Structure 1
Amino acid sequence: MNPAQTSESIQTAAPAAADRDARIAVTVFPILVIIAGLVGFLVPDAIKPAAPWVPYLLGVIMFCMGLTLTPLDFSSVVRRPWAVALGLLAHYVIMPAAGWAIAMALHLPPELAVGVILVGCAPSGTASNVMAYLAKGDVALSVAVATVSTLVAPLVTPALTLLLAGSFLNVDAGGMVLDIVKTVLIPVVLGLAVRLFLKKAVAAVLPALPWISAVVIAAIVAIVVAGSATKLAAAGGIVFLAVVLHNGFGLGLGYLAGKLGRLDHKARRALAFEVGMQNSGLAATLAAAHFSPLAALPSAVFSVWHNVSGAIVAAWLARRPVRAEAGAGEG
């Protein structure tokens, strides 16, 4: 989970204010994560003792996500089941398959291969919602796909990881299911319940939630980097290449999936980010818990890069006209 405005704030705020807040988020977050990564690399011994806190930190992020969800987000699934189903299918086919193919093509060592594949098997990250907004995409569809992909993650993520990464390392799919339920599903449901019963209190803290998520995900990155600091110098280059390729395939093929599904151009833009941007915090948590700190390194790098690339692609798309016809080309 990465910092993002809530769907409600994006769609109801004045355009100028929403633009400003979204651009600040996508500018500040990568900087914050880079600083956190440097701290983890430079003073690993001071950060490593915090490793047991990673699952709880992820739980905080997912609780914040639950607080931001509204009935409107779920009604989008009912109103547009085909578009949401296509986005969900594209996300959980393209990114896992691309992760496996990149790991094989680059001959990654087992721990890094599993780390890359695990990033691909994670649900969408909510920073995708901000990118869809900046790109003049379909924000409602973006939020719906991100929400559903998160809710089905306890079953889908472990199954795909076992299928694609089981040949590299032993995968405890059952343990992974339990971990995702505890660190993702339960906090999200609790957040939803709190939002339902304490609307006024939640409304007062909503503006702070993206920044809470930003700080917490940065803390996770610092801990992950600290755990693999001794191997980072040797593995950093190949991990960065794998992450850039992985994210690039996701963005491009996500857009193509929307085109092949005959969705309109705003929806295609949304799917590009829903497929290409991952919940790297969850991937890092699972990698560190079930494999090794080195396996979590691709998630840490992905956390930085997909926000940078997403902002660049969103800015480029925002300068291109959005056509209403589903079958028309976009130039």
Structure 2
Amino acid sequence: MVTWLETDLFTMGLGFLMLSMGLTLTFEDFRRCMRNPWTVGVGFLAQYLIKPLLGFSIALALKLSAPLATGLILVSCCPGGQASNVATYISKGNVALSVLMTTCSTIGAIVMTPLLTKLLAGQLVPVDAAGLAISTFQVVLVPTVVGALAHEYFPKLTERIITVTPLIGVLLTTLLCASPIGQVAEVLKTQGGQLIIPVALLHVAAFALGYWLSRLSTFGESTSRTISIECGMQLGGSALAVYWRNKGLPANDKDDFKE
């Protein structure tokens, strides 16, 4: 089982994924964030209000152990990722909006992820908000901006590079998922069953609420589907990277998550 992709290698792998996403962006995408505030704002609200509160509420209602609750909340506070852009394309959503929302949520993650994790999980375990912010900045934002800069100033080179980055991205994503699972295989054998219901509830509810919030905001089917996907699909790898770079996050599993 793949278990060797730890800490620094994992961080580098995720950084490359974010770099490859940045290579597909231009600074015009960032400027569009400012010119299209309402649609992006609803999506941002869904990602950084609805889903974190869902994660918190589910952990509280099911009285998850401290590590499981913290993990669920941390994942729910992370930005969207490249997979949401692919899922939007497959579902015939608004791909341009998906990329735009992913960009905005990635930028917002440097503040929102540590802030929300501190607010929602801080009562359960010690949360170093400053450390989380620094980790998010280093692992998520910097590679994305570097990629966008490369696209801006070296467009011809970038066009050649992005022909191979999807394949590398798929391989890296496989390793980024497989390695952490392999490292906690024994824990999953005993506690994995406890995760099925909360994780399923979190994502089903996030997809549904993201969609209906968009419909209530009078958006069309394509836009609503896009916001639903962005709300429901998070960049879980960033949660793992933040966890590994902030060892104060884990807690023992003897306590339930209670008010």
Settle same-fold status: TM greater than 0.5.
yes
Amino acid across the alignment from 1:264: G
Question: 1:169 is matched with which residue?
Answer: 125
**Larger helix fraction of residues:** 1
Question: 1:58 is matched with which residue?
Answer: 14
Say which of 45, 48, 62 aligns to 1:92. 48
Aligned positions, number: 251
Distance across 2 between alignment mates of 1:75 and 1:138: 18
Question: 1:240 is matched with which residue?
Answer: 196
Distance across 1 between alignment mates of 2:190 and 2:4: 20
Question: 2:76 is matched with which residue?
Answer: 120
Q: Which runs of 4+ in 1 moved over 6 A?
A: 292-295
Distance across 2 between alignment mates of 1:49 and 1:170: 26
Is 1:282 aligned to residue 231 of structure 2? no
Is 1:181 aligned to residue 137 of structure 2? yes
RMSD of Structure 2 on Structure 1 (CA):
1.9
Amino acid across the alignment from 1:251: F
Structure 1 residues 1-331: aligned runs within 5 Å: 39-40=1-2, 47-48=3-4, 50-291=6-247
Amino acid across the alignment from 1:215: L
| Greater RCO, 1 or 2 (C-alpha within 8 Å, sep 6+) | 2
How far did 1:291 drift?
Answer: 4.3
* Residues 260-294 of structure 1 deviation map (CA, whole Å, 9 limit, x = unaligned): 11111111010110100001110111123324898
Q: Which moved more, 1:155-164 or 1:241-250?
A: 241-250
Q: Which moved more, 1:219-228 or 1:143-152?
A: 219-228
Distance across 2 between alignment mates of 1:99 and 1:207: 37
Distance across 1 between alignment mates of 2:16 and 2:204: 29
How far did 1:186 drift?
Answer: 1.1
Amino acid across the alignment from 2:161: V
Residues 228 and 294, structure 1, Cα contact 8 Å, conserved in 2: no
Secondary structure at the aligned position of 1:219 is classed as helix
Distance across 1 between alignment mates of 2:192 and 2:172: 23
Amino acid across the alignment from 2:58: I
Question: 1:34 is matched with which residue?
Answer: none
Distance across 2 between alignment mates of 1:153 and 1:76: 18
* Residues 96-133 of structure 1 deviation map (CA, whole Å, 9 limit, x = unaligned): 01111111122111011000000000001121112222
Percentage identity across paired residues of the two chains: 36
How far did 1:88 drift?
Answer: 0.6
Length-normalised TM-score, structure 2: 0.91
Distance across 1 between alignment mates of 2:234 and 2:242: 14
How far did 1:48 drift?
Answer: 4.3
- 1:210 and 1:49, CA in 2 relative to 1: closer, same or farther beyond 3 A? closer
How far did 1:78 drift?
Answer: 4.0
How far did 1:72 drift?
Answer: 4.7
Question: Which residues of structure 2 form unaligned runs of 5+?
Answer: 252-259
